[in-house]
Amino acid sequence: DNTGTVQLAVIPGDGIGQEVTPEALKVLEAVDSGVKFEQTHYDLGAENYLRTKEVLPPTVLAEIRQHDAILLGAVGGKPNDPDLPPGILERGLLLKLRFELDHYVNLRPSRLFPGTASPLADPGDVDFVVVREGTEGPYTGNGGALRVGTPHEVATEVSVNTAFGVERVVRDAFARAERRPRKHLTLVHKTNVLVNAGSVWWRLFEAVAAEHPDVTTDYMHIDAAMIHMTVNPSRFDVIVTDNLFGDIITDLAAAITGGIGLAASGNVNPDRTAPSMFEPVHGSAPDIAGQQVADPTAAILSTSLLLDHLGHADAAAAVEAAVLADLSDRRPGTTRRTSEIGDAIAARL
Ligand code: NAI
Ligand code: MG
């Protein structure tokens, strides 16, 4: 639906999430998308948990589900806060939303924008997108621990790979590769050691490839992929991989393309049976929170992914172009406040 209103659930979260989310909203309001964003703000995250001892009440999840899309800042408290049990927000909120809303495509575009510094001496023209499986692999909570804290402790996390889950994410990756100029897709896995999961990934990748003769393909083991991404990242176009490998690859991808302040992501439900969620890759950054020094660019770029998902490709491209222009105008040695960067990008729209 390209007209009317979009019901947007907004979860600013904690720390710099509270600072970058208003800038992302500023840009969403400024861009000419032809739709009106009706926002509902949800107070979720570490601060909310410490106050209420609730992470994501079922009634709140049910309300969020009624929206067209979700914009998330970041959640996370102060390091080693004894009142915040480890993993409670990851499992209870972030992973919970991904699993419940069936965000099986975790989308991370990685582009080295002109004027942006990379820690690589000669990165080349980097422009690839990682399609990370978001609902299976070792992150499903399929495991447990016995005899904890004794010399006989047993701990398992079993990687779950279903033919259904693999095929649908592989199909999404081929479709994305097909829409890009280079039309190239790389499968990253560890088929030589993780032979059972590797086999189902490999067979379904080959089967779907046969339906897409216009997309060229290759395969890399995860360890070799880390070498290629560091030595020659411009060779990649679209990468499809499992949940754990994707988690690791995308942090390296963010690092080589100018860092965490620029990396955006989408937790996408391509079947649109529930709202997709868009967020910067970074966390709540308690070390710099509340000082207006966080770069809101990643949060702003996540609205471009949101607009694209909702079918507003022109508006998505306009946001990206405004960011690109802002980045190429940045001068080393000068700093702007979080809100000044948001203002500057919004003004270009
Ligand atoms: P982080 O991404 O919050 O910070 C890592 C480093 O990057 C820090 O030095 C920070 O100051 C800097 N940084 C991050 N975003 C920046 C920005 N926009 N502009 C400038 N500098 C930026 O990762 P960290 O420190 O490991 O985690 C902090 C908290 O965030 C933890 O509680 C963690 O669990 C949570 N977290 C939440 C995520 C989410 O909500 N999706 C993702 C990652 C971490
Ligand atoms: Mg990660």
| 252 Cα: distance to centroid of ligand 1 (angstroms) | 15
Q: What is the DSSP string of 112-177?
A: --TT---SSSS--S-EEEEEEE-SSBTTS--EEEESTTSTT-EEEEPPB--HHHHHHHHHHHHHHH
For residue 251, say whether it is annotated as part of any ligand binding site: yes
1-112+262-349 and 118-257 have identical folds: yes
Q: Which ligand is nearest to the CA of 249?
A: 2
- Give the global pTM: 0.94
Instruction: Kindly report the protein residue whose alpha carbon is nearest to atom 31 of ligand 1.
Output: 76
- Count of alpha carbons within 13 angstroms of residue 236, beta-carbon side: 31
Strand 143-146 versus strand 154-157 pairing type = antiparallel
234 is in an annotated binding site: no
CATH classification for the domain delimited by 118-257, as one of 3.60.21.10, 3.40.718.10, 3.40.630.30, 3.40.50.720: 3.40.718.10
Q: Does residue 66 contact residue 274 with C-beta atoms inside 8 Å?
A: no
Ligand 1 centre and the CA of 15: distance in Å? 9
**pLDDT tens, N- to C-terminus, the chain (349 residues):** 456 899 999 999 999 999 999 999 999 999 999 999 999 999 999 999 999 999 999 999 999 999 999 999 999 999 899 999 988 998 899 999 999 999 999 999 999 998 888 999 999 999 999 999 999 999 998 999 999 999 999 999 999 999 999 999 999 999 999 999 999 999 999 999 999 999 999 999 999 999 999 999 999 999 999 999 999 999 999 999 999 999 999 999 999 998 888 999 999 999 999 999 999 999 999 999 999 999 999 999 999 999 999 999 999 999 999 999 999 888 877 889 999 999 999 999 9
- Residues 268, 46, 251: CA angle, nearest 5 degrees: 45
Nearest to 174 by CA among 310, 305, 245, 270: 270
Cα dist from 102 to 69, 129, 270, whole Å: 13, 20, 9
Q: Write the class of the CATH domain 1-112+262-349.
A: alpha beta
> Is the ipTM, as predicted for this complex, more than 0.95?
yes
Task: Please identify every residue annotated as catalytic.
Answer: 139, 190, 223, 247, 251
209 is in an annotated binding site: no
> Domain limits of the chain?
1-112+262-349, 118-257
